[in-house]
Amino acid sequence: MLAAAVEAYVAVRRATGFTFGSEARQLASFAAFSEARTESHVRASLAIEWAALARSVSQRARRLGHVIRLARYLRAEDRDHEVPPAVFGAEKRSRPTPYILSPEQIGQLVLAASRSGYRTLRRDTYSTLFALLASTGLRASEAIHLRLDDITPDGLVIRCSKFRKSRLVPLHKTARAGLERYLQRRGAYAPAEPHVFVSLRRKPLLLHDVEVAFRTAARAVGLPDSPRARPTPHSLRHTFAVRALQACPDGRDAITRHMLALSTYLGHAKVADTYWYLEAVPELMTDIADRCERFVMGGRP
């Protein structure tokens, strides 16, 4: 039965570290669709028909991509499975160009958050959160899930983040001092709550709340607010990564070590996700072009 084959495939993917949540549900849907037509193998025509039920072309491409990978896996042991052609195009959309903030803009955002709304803990919460994101490169989701016992003398313990991997993020002494000041203020406000950052409801922050607070601060300092150029909380992480790359030392071996260390620090699943910044940010592309020119002209790269 195709459903049993899908379950086995999902188990293998999860055993190798993938969360595989929505993908598993999609493949279970495809298996049910196929078995309703008395088909126990992957058939290209049925896969295309099933994927075409999605509303948008990008969704169809993504659904069909799930089946293509399933079919390749199953076909290794059973040649009766068919690998569908990618008739809806590439399933991965190009990543948008990250919005990189200047040091002055980051300072303005933190200051705006410290003055936003009434004189409540909310000001301290978001100004400290944004400063922490800027100085550590954490994902916003990782920061709002931090618990008090995740703060250690060696840094912040990020537990089971995006790719179910834990890591230790060192803290600069200024970042630690800022975090300790915030904890002193929020301690009396929500003493029973184990999460570091709390809302006025004395509950952990929601990602939506963080996004709203960031937009409010960004608007207050005059940052752009359009679909093509709009900073988000994730822009603080992008900015951290770019500044770290700009500080990379010269030399092939040093660059390799620097990239690997940064990839590990950021919690990227693949080092290619870190290299993406090299082609996504004009400043880094300019640096690369300048070094290539020097190398061609006989100088040091």
Which is the catalytic residue, given 43, 237, 238, 265?
237
Residue 226: DSSP 8-state:
B
Residue given tokens 């690997």 in the structure block: 260
* pLDDT band at 251; cut points 50, 70, 90: low
The average pLDDT across 219-248 equals 85
Task: Confirm whether 258 is a catalytic residue.
Answer: no
Q: Is the pLDDT of residue 219 over 80?
A: yes
- pLDDT (tens digit, 9 = 90+) per residue, 17-49? 777 888 999 999 999 999 999 999 999 999 999
Residue 236 token pair:
């603080």
Q: Which residue has the higher pLDDT, 275 or 197?
A: 197
- pLDDT (tens digit, 9 = 90+) per residue, 45-82? 999 999 999 999 989 999 999 999 999 999 999 999 99
Q: Please, which residues have CB within 8 angstroms of residue 116's CB and are 6 or more apart in sequence?
A: 122, 123, 126, 213, 216, 217, 220
Q: Which residue has the higher pLDDT, 287 or 119?
A: 119
pLDDT score recorded for residue 289 = 60
- Distance separating alpha carbons of residues 266 and 138, to the nearest angstrom: 7
Task: Confirm whether 79 is a catalytic residue.
Answer: no
Residue given tokens 């410290």 in the structure block: 114
- pLDDT (tens digit, 9 = 90+) per residue, 129-157? 999 999 999 999 999 999 999 999 999 99
Task: Confirm whether 268 is a catalytic residue.
Answer: yes
Q: Is the pLDDT of residue 93 over 80?
A: no
- pLDDT (tens digit, 9 = 90+) per residue, 98-133? 888 999 999 999 999 999 877 889 999 999 999 999
- Distance separating alpha carbons of residues 49 and 30, to the nearest angstrom: 10
* Domain assignments of the chain as residue spans, ordered by start: 2-75, 103-231, 236-296
Length of the chain: 301
Alpha helices in 221-281 (DSSP H): 233-246, 252-266, 271-280
The average pLDDT across 268-294 equals 65
Q: Which residue has the higher pLDDT, 163 or 173?
A: 173
The average pLDDT across 175-202 equals 93
According to CATH, the superfamily of the domain at 103-231 is Intergrase catalytic core (1.10.443.10)
φ/ψ of residue 157, rounded to 5: -90, 115
Q: What is the Cα Rg of the chain in Å?
A: 24
Which is the catalytic residue, given 60, 139, 186, 238?
139
pLDDT score recorded for residue 243 = 85
pLDDT score recorded for residue 65 = 93
Task: Confirm whether 81 is a catalytic residue.
Answer: no
* pLDDT band at 188; cut points 50, 70, 90: confident
Q: Which residue in 62, 58, 56, 55 sits closest to 30, CA to CA?
A: 62
Which is the catalytic residue, given 195, 215, 230, 234?
234
Q: Which residue has the higher pLDDT, 81 or 288?
A: 81
Query: Of 146-155, 157-166, 234-243, 278-287, where does mean pLDDT reach its minimum?
Result: 278-287
Task: Confirm whether 237 is a catalytic residue.
Answer: yes
Which is the catalytic residue, given 95, 162, 203, 270?
162
Q: Which residue has the higher pLDDT, 7 or 166?
A: 7
Task: Confirm whether 41 is a catalytic residue.
Answer: no
pTM of the complete model = 0.68
Residue 224 token pair:
């752009």
